Amino acid sequence: MPGLGDATRGRLLFGGDYSPEQWPPDVWEEDVRLMREAGVNLATVGVFAWAALEPEPGRFDFGWLDTVLGLLHDGGIGVALATPTASPPPWLGHRHPETLPQGPDGVRRHYGSRNHYCASAPPYRRAALAVTEALAARYAHHPALRLWHIGNEYGTTCHCGHCAERFRGWLRARYGTLDALNAAWGTAVWSQRYSTWDEVTAPLTVQYIGNPTQDLDYQRFGSDLLLECYTAERDAVRAHNPAVPVTTNFMDLYRPVDGWRWAEEEDFVSLDTYPDPGDPGAALRGAMSKDVMRSLGGGPWLLMEQSPGAASWRPVSTPKRPGLNRLWSLQALARGADGVLHFQWRASRQGPERAHGALLPHAGPDSRVFREACALGRTLAELSEVDGLLGAPVAADVAVLLDWESWRAAELPHQPHAGFGYVDRLTEYYEPLWRANITCDFARPAADLSRYKLVLAPNLYQVTPAVAAGLRSYVAGGGTLVLGPFSGVADQDERVHIGGWPGLLMDVVGVRVEEHWPQASPGTIWQEWAEPRGAAVVESAQGGPLDGRPMVFRHEYGAGIAWYVGTVPAPDALAGLLARACAEAGVRPVLPDLPPGVEAVRRGGVVFLLDHDSGACEIRPAA
């Protein structure tokens, strides 16, 4: 199987989305000239070019793309060629309205934007494969082609009849019989029992609250359905040239697609990330999604999109201050990326994204932003020469468990606290380690965790017997586990564990939770009524309705230690607790005692020091 190395060919990638179909041909030559000036070596072409490639059904126009790829190739610039299937032309929706996605209320979304497709509709699937097939047949051996970029930011949902049909097929494969489905969905509640398969639908707008397990299954199905679209296109391009690596671009932590499942189907993982330059937590959030990408793919990944300036979809699209794009680019390299691409190369003059940042802004090459792009190009060229960087792994002693199953289930409607967010919990646990310059991987709960000294499970809502067995043997074998609140609550069918939480892990943490106690008051959003069952009490509630009750526990289990944190602690308290867990587990920072705001990451033979704060500190190597 090819990998990212087949795309980089020994150089860190630099560039961005390039939309020549938005510009007259005389601009293309200028584009290539300026790309060369900036040091761009990869352009992502064709992401939204379906209408330009297939102006009428079945009539392809590749002339312009031949010219563009030829110009890029002559300029020494490689191409990430996209299948354009994220945005069908109006002719598809006009001829086949069934290809337009339908909301749970039965209302169809019209064309006139993008992402307006139903992944189940046969005419969409046929047309998407046809354009993919035609592109692959023509360009799979083009000398400029470095990688295939399938679709764009998969995540569209639909609730139409075609989707219901596919959903029933998916459910039959999962449950076998209707009785098993009725049992799993708990349809004894509210007289929801299904008597024939035909009665089963996608979740639709209903009178009151819908069935949570139906909702959960529809989320699982939705991810699998889109994955099927991706793999169909991947297989089509691969068939023409198996040596070209294939990816699709993930968004930051994004619930609709299960990153673990998807990453298995990609030759390498790529990320679109748009932290808000106005958000004081942006560097933290950026570090976290970059670590997630490295972990999903288990190796080097590609930063597919970031904005060189503003992201125009924000209510206030603040640009990046001077140097910020470079800083965040280096953060990506530090955390395992082998390339830094942007949305987009040349700012769109028209259309919804005309206010979006670009490497070549509306002001033209005589601009701060273009000069910074050129400087970044030079930096990446220099870093390509550094031994032990390109392709190198990032070592981590800590794993944070990331579980789409728990994420979907913990955020279903009518859980105890509507504001209890899965990614918030992950971020709270990740943050103190990030501040302490301790590098974390993310891991699947069922993964082999034995190489980690410390495992954090901030919100392991769903615990299956296999996951419980894995965590039990991890701790028994000498590992340290920190299990956060609202964990071990339900099984994979959203059937609540009887007899106390965290269910199958009660004996491992030595704690039994009787009640979840969410709160709307300031202080904490969440506490639990819990009793130690072998664990030592480390912290108790101070004030509030559970004043004096134990909240944080530490349990020696086998050769290891299991912590249970039955609350959402104040940030300082959580930082203190995790510092103790790290120290006991022998987890060390990349470098100790750095000034606040300085991020240190070791990748291969290189230590990156990133100053997110003032830029006014000096760090000297130890004598």
- Which of ligand GLA, Zn ion, none binds 162 (CB below 5-8 Å, type-dependent)? Zn ion
Contact segment (CB under 6 A) with ligand GLA among 304-312, 325-333, 370-378, 448-456 equals: 304-312
**Contact partner at residue 152 from ligand GLA, Zn ion, none, CB < 5 to 8 Å by partner kind:** ligand GLA
Q: Which residues contact 56 (CB under 8 A, 6 or more apart)?
A: 91
Query: Of the candidates 121, 292, 311, 455, which one interacts with ligand GLA according to CB under 6 A?
Result: 311
Site string for Zn ion, 132-151 (x = CB under 5 A): --------------------
Our CA angle for 186, 192, 195, nearest 5°, is: 100
The residue among 113, 64, 110, 109 whose CA lies nearest residue 86 is: 113
Tally the residues of the chain: 623
Alpha carbon separation from 507 to 169, 218, 533 (Å, rounded): 39, 33, 8
Question: Which partner from the list ligand GLA, Zn ion, none does 120 bind, CB cut-off 5 to 8 Å by kind?
Answer: Zn ion
Among 133-141, 305-313, 440-448, 535-543, the segment contacting ligand GLA (CB under 6 A): 305-313
Residues 6+ positions from 597 with CB-CB distance below 8 Å:
611, 612, 613, 614
* Cα–Cα distances in angstroms (integers) from residue 26 to residues 33, 336, 347, 505, in the given order: 12, 38, 16, 65
Distance CA 179, CA 196 (A): 10
Residues that bind Zn ion (rule: CB under 5 A) add up to a total of 6
Q: Which does 282 bind (CB under 5 to 8 A by kind): ligand GLA, Zn ion, none?
A: none
Question: Which residue of 233, 305, 338, 599 would you call a contact of ligand GLA, by CB under 6 A?
Answer: 305
* Site residue total, ligand GLA (CB under 6 A): 11
Query: What residues contact residue 623 under an 8 Å CB cut-off, 6+ apart?
Result: none
What are φ and ψ of residue 166, in 5° steps?
-65, -35
Interface map 72-111 toward Zn ion (x if CB under 5 A): ----------------------------------------
In this chain, which stretch among 164-172, 303-311, 453-461, 567-575 interacts with ligand GLA, using CB under 6 A? Answer: 303-311
What sign has the CA pseudo-torsion 137, 141, 145, 150? positive
- Counting Cβ atoms within 10 Å, is residue 592 exposed (0-12), middle (13-18) or buried (19+)? exposed
Q: State CA 554 to chain mean position distance.
A: 32
In a 3-state reduction of DSSP, which class is residue 116? coil
Give the span between the Cα atoms of 249 and 612, in whole angstroms.
26
The one among 120, 211, 437, 524 contacting Zn ion by CB under 5 A: 120
Measured from the CB atom, is 22 or 439 closer to ligand GLA? 22
Q: What residue has token string 């550094």? A: 386
**190: partner contacted, choices Zn ion, ligand GLA, none (Cβ within 5-8 A by kind):** none
Q: With CB cut-offs between 5 and 8 Å by kind, which of ligand GLA, Zn ion, none does residue 158 bind?
A: Zn ion
Alpha carbon distance 235, 250 (integer Å): 19
Contact 263, 230 (CB under 8 A): no
Nearest distance from C-beta of residue 115 to ligand GLA, angstroms: 10
**Any contact of residue 142 with ligand GLA (CB under 6 A)?**
no
- Of the candidates 305, 405, 428, 599, the residue annotated as catalytic is 305
For ligand GLA, the closer of residues 197 and 313 by Cβ is 313
Confirm or reject binding of residue 343 to ligand GLA (CB under 6 A). yes
Residue 345 within binding range of ligand GLA, rule CB under 6 A: no
Consecutive H or E run containing 290: helix 282-297
**Active-site residue, 98 included:** no
Closer to Zn ion at the Cβ: 119 or 577? 119
* Contact flags string 366-405 toward Zn ion, x per CB under 5 A: ----------------------------------------
Could you say whether residue 463 binds Zn ion (CB under 5 A)?
no
163 near Zn ion, judged by CB under 5 A = yes
The 10 Å CB-count burial string (b at 16+, else e) for 85-115 is bbbbbebbbeebebbbbbebeeebbebeebb
Interface pick for Zn ion out of 35, 145, 147, 160 (rule CB under 5 A): 160
Catalytic site includes residue 494: no
Only one of the segments 97-105, 307-315, 546-554, 590-598 lies at the binding site for ligand GLA (rule: CB under 6 A); that segment is 307-315
274 binds, among Zn ion, ligand GLA, none (CB under 5 to 8 A by kind): ligand GLA
Task: Determine if 152 is a binding residue for ligand GLA (CB under 6 A).
Answer: yes
| Catalytic site residue from 54, 153, 372, 494 | 153
394 sits near ligand GLA (criterion: CB under 6 A)? no
Binder among 42, 43, 53, 153 for ligand GLA (CB under 6 A): 153
Cα–Cα–Cα angle for 413, 218, 258, nearest 5°?
95
Q: Which of Zn ion, ligand GLA, none interacts with 37 (beta carbon under 5 to 8 A by kind)?
A: none
Q: Which residues make Cβ contacts (< 8 Å) with residue 484, sequence separation at least 6?
A: 425, 429, 456, 457, 458, 459, 460, 565
Query: Which strand (E) or helix (H) includes residue 223?
Result: helix 212-240
Name the amino acid, one letter, at 150. Answer: I
Query: Which positions touch Zn ion (CB under 5 A)?
Result: 118, 120, 158, 160, 162-163
The residues annotated with a catalytic role in the active site are 153, 305
Query: Which positions touch ligand GLA (CB under 6 A)?
Result: 152-153, 272, 274, 305, 307, 311, 313, 343, 353, 356
